[in-house]
Amino acid sequence: MTEFSAPIDDRWFEDYPFGAVYEFGDVAVTREEIVEFARQFDPQSFHVDPVAAEAGPFGGLIASGWHTCGLMMRMFAEHYLSSVASLGSPGIDELRWPRPVRPGDRLWLRATVTEARLSRSKPDRGLVRTLVEVFNGDSELVLSGNAVNFLAVRPVGR
């Protein structure tokens, strides 16, 4: 595992070297949050109804994959993504949630820099691709995807 060379409020494109691996986060998932999220955004029985979920395909209540994405994004933004150099993202490729997230799970994130290159057309920024993997407390993979982010290069004199 790698440690960042700069704090999140002074982290620039150059601080995301190819091959670096970072692990962070500790998010508890509650039954109440699972149901609340699902009632608003993914009202399938195995997300909103604990009784029906027991008889469903997962043998109990599970978080929506979209809820898991939201939890991943919070950890990604709070620990990985620069608060001064982030220039947005065109998306996440190959997003998967191979194992369900259940009430009581504690999630953590591994971020592996798989590409870091300067923009050819805009020399004030670079592109960083990151393999994002979220694990539960038993270190079982519950989400993966390849995030693409644009980050400003370090200003001269910083």
Report pLDDT digits (tens) over 90-134: 999 999 999 999 999 999 999 999 999 999 999 999 999 999 999
Closest CA to 149 of 83, 88, 71, 78: 88
| 53 in any annotated domain | no
* Contact present, 116 and 105 (Cβ < 8 Å): no
- Total number of domains constituting the chain: 1
Range of the domain at 82: 8-28+63-152
Coil/strand/helix, residue 84:
coil
User: In the prediction, which pLDDT does 1 show?
Assistant: 77
| 85 in any annotated domain | yes
| 101 in any annotated domain | yes
Statement: residue 157 has pLDDT above 80: no
Report pLDDT digits (tens) over 46-69: 999 999 999 999 999 999 999 999
**Alpha-helical runs (H) found in 2-158:** 31-41, 45-48, 50-55, 65-75
Statement: residue 39 has pLDDT above 90: yes
Indicate which CATH number applies to the domain containing 24.
Answer: 3.10.129.10
Report pLDDT digits (tens) over 70-90: 999 999 999 999 999 999 999
Task: Give pTM, 2 decimals.
Answer: 0.95
Q: What is the rounded CA–CA span in Å between residue 61 and residue 66?
A: 15
User: In the prediction, which pLDDT does 156 show?
Assistant: 83
| 58 in any annotated domain | no
Beta bridge partners, 156, equal none
Return the HEC string of 130-155: EEEEEECCCCCEEEEEEEEEEEECCC
Report pLDDT digits (tens) over 18-37: 999 999 999 999 999 999 99
| 102 in any annotated domain | yes
User: In the prediction, which pLDDT does 2 show?
Assistant: 83
How many Å from the N-terminal Cα to the C-terminal Cα in the chain?
26
CB-hemisphere CA count at 13 Å for 157? 0
User: In the prediction, which pLDDT does 158 show?
Assistant: 64
